[in-house]
Amino acid sequence: MGYLHEGHLSLIKQSKRNCDITIVSIFVNPTQFGPSEDFNNYPRNIETDSKLLESNGVDYLFVPSAEEIYPKNFQTYLNVEIVTKILEGEFRPNHFRGVTTVVLILFNCVQPDFAFFGQKDAQQLSVIKQMVKDLKLDLKIISCPIIRENDGLAMSSRNVYLSDSERKEALVLYKSLQTVKKLISSGEKKVNFILSEMNELYSKVPSANVDYIKIVKADNFEIVDELIEGKEYFVLIACKIGVTRLIDNILVTV
């Protein structure tokens, strides 16, 4: 959705390693924002983005208007079931319907062989993979790792909303994920205990208001209450720091 940072550029670098031609689409998608969310205020700077993309060797930039994507009398939306009902889907109704619809439209416009998505939006990545699989789309989804600031904060266009004090307090997301990593490495498998240790960290941060902290199976996003050795899991967080809603996650193998 633009306002590019090093996380976005990492996707471009991966594309340039894999592909002959790299196309970037920038579109702040109105259908994935709720009525009380930040669509109108979402950071935008297409001129700076364009220069950044050109300097990073992008071949084409696709910047459609809302009227091109959703012309008058637009009526067709795409729903992926089950995985969209929990977590982000619970807190942001219709969010994933907007995501899958616009991504499918963009795929149809560009017709890529590969599409690159960051793991920071892990649930979104899972939803898009499910859509591609179910609809038998002729492209491959490539998952790219989270890019972080030097202090661990996951890069996000929304980080610009944070005040200086909130920016420091936002590090609780990364610190809590590191706590999980240590607990699991030490052999802890009880999810309730792991989550209680994480919540203890958030209780000490004045600006933090947690939407959810959950551990899910990496392959199907089923929420679990106990970890099984040899299996992969996502630990997922959505938390408001002040009025800014941030998400983060870590992929762990028990």
Choose, from 2, 3, 7, 8, the residue flagged as catalytic: 8
Of 179, 254, 178, 169, the closest CA to residue 217 belongs to: 254
Q: How far apart are CA 17 and CA 170, in angstroms?
A: 33
Q: How many CB atoms lie within 10 A of CB 98?
A: 18
Catalytic residue at 8? yes
Q: How far apart are CA 27 and CA 231, in angstroms?
A: 36
Q: How far apart are CA 75 and CA 124, in angstroms?
A: 23
Residues taking part in catalysis: 8
